[in-house]
Structure 1
Amino acid sequence: MRLVFAGTPAFALPTLEALLAAGHDIRAVYTQPDRPAGRGRRLSESPIKKFALTHSLPLYQPPTLTGIDRHLAPLEPDVAIVVAYGLILPPAMLALPRFGCVNVHASLLPRWRGAAPVARAIEAGDRVTGVTIMQMEAGLDTGPMLAQAEVPILDSDTSASLESRLAPLGAELMVHTLNLLGRGGVRARAQDDAAATYAPKLRKSEATVDWTRSAESLHRKIRAFNPYPVASTLLRGEPLRLWEVGPLDDGEEATPPTEPGTVLDTGAAGIRVQTGGGSLLLTRLQVAGGKVLEARDFLNGTRLAPGDRLGS
């Protein structure tokens, strides 16, 4: 099929790779303009841009999609494939391809429509998620569903690890769906709007850990906010980022014997901290300006002992 592809982050890359490997005619690749990143704020190319350049695919990085239909019309696309592109498609673009615009969305719609479906699923304590191939329309992730596939959410999953499983699954499902679409073998299913939930974009202001919350709640939050924006607390007034946590202890008391945020124990396995209900084992941490370290290495360079307090 004649395709145009729009995507930006690493999550979109397996789909583009699969479409090219399947022999589709990719007539244009759209990705976000280069953005400043890192400490030096140097311009960074998206994974999609790097792949397109390596494979000599026609690449475009428009800051907006105003007038995009005039650019797309001569390409005569059968389908536009969209995966985490980062811009809202105008109606003219949605209507132009023969089979419309088709999206890989990282949830089991209608649950978790919106910008951060993976993180919100972990944060909410969902036990299962998946990918949905959706026919795009003007609403926010409201279009008819063409295919779905499920995966379990593991107790150890972070947003990064879960996305790494969902991305190839979405790619495989997209290739399969396109094969059926070209033969008229896809039956679209309308979403149940009454069952919809929304996954708003993650904000840095949400990242601060409230130690009065339960260990289970904080365990989900820390995993959900890895790799962005990363949960954080304070250690002697300085920022401390919390990247990973160990397994929960199901047998702990519901009420804290000490003040929430108090360090209970430190060792090679991690740093155990009291919460509003149970305790939490911190296993990977990062001080401001430092590297992300395993707890053992972190304790070698940072003074921390039982009785110390985290948080404000």
Structure 2
Amino acid sequence: MAGQPLRVVFAGTPEFAVPCLEACRIAGAEVVAVYTQPDRPAGRGRKLAASPVKEAALAAGIPVEQPESFKAEADRDRLAAHAPDLMVVVAYGLILPRKVLAIPRLGCWNVHASLLPRWRGAAPIQRAILAGDTESGVDLMQMEAGLDTGPVLVERRTPISADDTGGSLHDRLSALGADALAEGLRRIQAGEVLEPHTQAAEGVEYAHKLDKAEARLDFSQPATALERKVRAFNPWPVAEGDIAGERLRVWAAHAIAGRPGAEPGTVFAATRDGIDIACAEGALRLTAVQRAGGRRIGAADYLNARPELKQAVS
């Protein structure tokens, strides 16, 4: 195998996967086709839009395939016709059946944004922040029929800082995933056999898909939990709460000491530093919010538009 370019089929859909597609090319693999989700309606006009991976593939002159699934034998035959040595899957959005996993000579690799077996599933980045994890990472995994159960080939780790958001951790793990994938490809093309590490049986957690209903802020919860929710759901779906009679999207907030006796959900301070809301434990200081139909603004600008709020708590 050494010295020969690897024939790779790449399967991915969102922005997270784009650096991994580029990593395949930089590592010297021959990307013979890119599989991505069918174009979906997007934006206010609901016009069909290509996925970020499709746009990157077309820009690089790589053929693009967009089957709804691999249930049809014709779709599996079309994949086999590309004669892939390896299929690389990164946030593709489809569960691959056994018949597909068996097509590439070297099987299928997956880049997953967690330290497995913790946070198998659809939303590992946000779930790690919501849970208060202090570390995350990326695993390059040999795919099996189970959901994110395969042995790990390469791993990268990164701390989760107190100000990490879903967006910032997403971007960092996207880059780490590309780095891990590039290492795996370089090593296998040099003739090395990667040692698979079986996942531990303990510590399995499932990262269920995000639901917009989860973004509601319930001030009967501790402020620390709500702070994590605000960070995890930035930039999507964005936390929201009822603040002094108005529904706001909350882009940035942090937990502070509460005011004794303050009823959860009540605003007890409103200054240029933020809007302080009592919680079951402690308080949440909102520093960046968004009104319905408006844009993201700082707390000071919001209070300028609502001077009565400052007066009510002064």
- TM-score in terms of structure 2 length: 0.92
Please report how far the alpha carbon of residue 224 of structure 1 lies from its aligned counterpart in structure 2 after TM superposition: 0.9
In the alignment, is residue 297 of structure 1 matched against residue 306 of structure 2? Answer: no
- Figure out how many residues of one structure are paired with residues of the other and give that number: 305
Do the aligned partners of 2:24 and 2:185 also contact (CA within 8 Å) in 1? no
Please report how far the alpha carbon of residue 37 of structure 1 lies from its aligned counterpart in structure 2 after TM superposition: 2.0
Secondary structure of 2:93's counterpart equals: coil
1:69 aligned residue (76, 85, 98): 76
| Counterpart position of 2:143 | 136
| Counterpart position of 2:229 | 221
Classify 1:258/1:306 alpha carbon distance in 2 versus 1 (closer, same or farther; 3 Å): farther
In the alignment, is residue 241 of structure 1 matched against residue 249 of structure 2? Answer: yes
* Counterparts of residues 1-312 of structure 1 (less than 5 Å): 1-66=6-71, 67=73, 68-182=75-189, 183-235=191-243, 238-246=246-254, 248-249=255-256, 252=257, 256-303=260-307, 305=309
Output the CA distance in 1 between the equivalents of 2:101 and 2:161.
Answer: 36
Classify 1:133/1:275 alpha carbon distance in 2 versus 1 (closer, same or farther; 3 Å): same
Do the aligned partners of 2:217 and 2:240 also contact (CA within 8 Å) in 1? yes
Output the CA distance in 2 between the equivalents of 1:90 and 1:304.
Answer: 59
Classify 1:153/1:293 alpha carbon distance in 2 versus 1 (closer, same or farther; 3 Å): same
Please report how far the alpha carbon of residue 307 of structure 1 lies from its aligned counterpart in structure 2 after TM superposition: 8.6
Output the CA distance in 1 between the equivalents of 2:271 and 2:88.
Answer: 49
Output the CA distance in 2 between the equivalents of 1:109 and 1:222.
Answer: 25
Output the CA distance in 1 between the equivalents of 2:126 and 2:308.
Answer: 30
Residue ranges of structure 1 left out of the alignment (5+ in a row)? none
Do the aligned partners of 2:27 and 2:182 also contact (CA within 8 Å) in 1? yes
Please report how far the alpha carbon of residue 44 of structure 1 lies from its aligned counterpart in structure 2 after TM superposition: 2.3
Output the CA distance in 2 between the equivalents of 1:80 and 1:41.
Answer: 32
Do the aligned partners of 2:231 and 2:252 also contact (CA within 8 Å) in 1? yes
Do the aligned partners of 1:263 and 1:308 also contact (CA within 8 Å) in 2? no
Please report how far the alpha carbon of residue 136 of structure 1 lies from its aligned counterpart in structure 2 after TM superposition: 0.7
Residue ranges of structure 2 left out of the alignment (5+ in a row)? 1-5
Output the CA distance in 2 between the equivalents of 1:237 and 1:41.
Answer: 32
Classify 1:82/1:304 alpha carbon distance in 2 versus 1 (closer, same or farther; 3 Å): farther
Please report how far the alpha carbon of residue 85 of structure 1 lies from its aligned counterpart in structure 2 after TM superposition: 0.6
Identity %: 49
Output the CA distance in 2 between the equivalents of 1:200 and 1:106.
Answer: 14
Please report how far the alpha carbon of residue 49 of structure 1 lies from its aligned counterpart in structure 2 after TM superposition: 1.1
Secondary structure of 1:194's counterpart equals: coil
Classify 1:63/1:302 alpha carbon distance in 2 versus 1 (closer, same or farther; 3 Å): farther
Do the aligned partners of 2:212 and 2:237 also contact (CA within 8 Å) in 1? yes
Do the aligned partners of 2:115 and 2:136 also contact (CA within 8 Å) in 1? yes
RMSD: 1.8
Once the two structures are overlaid, the 10-residue window that deviates more, 38-47 or 8-17, is: 38-47
Please report how far the alpha carbon of residue 235 of structure 1 lies from its aligned counterpart in structure 2 after TM superposition: 3.9
Please report how far the alpha carbon of residue 238 of structure 1 lies from its aligned counterpart in structure 2 after TM superposition: 4.5
| Counterpart position of 2:3 | none
Once the two structures are overlaid, the 10-residue window that deviates more, 232-241 or 129-138, is: 232-241
The Cα offsets for residues 175-212 of structure 1, whole Å up to 9 and x where unpaired, read as 10122234233100111123211110111121111101
Secondary structure of 1:190's counterpart equals: coil
Please report how far the alpha carbon of residue 296 of structure 1 lies from its aligned counterpart in structure 2 after TM superposition: 2.3
Please report how far the alpha carbon of residue 270 of structure 1 lies from its aligned counterpart in structure 2 after TM superposition: 2.0
Output the CA distance in 2 between the equivalents of 1:42 and 1:293.
Answer: 29
Please report how far the alpha carbon of residue 237 of structure 1 lies from its aligned counterpart in structure 2 after TM superposition: 5.2
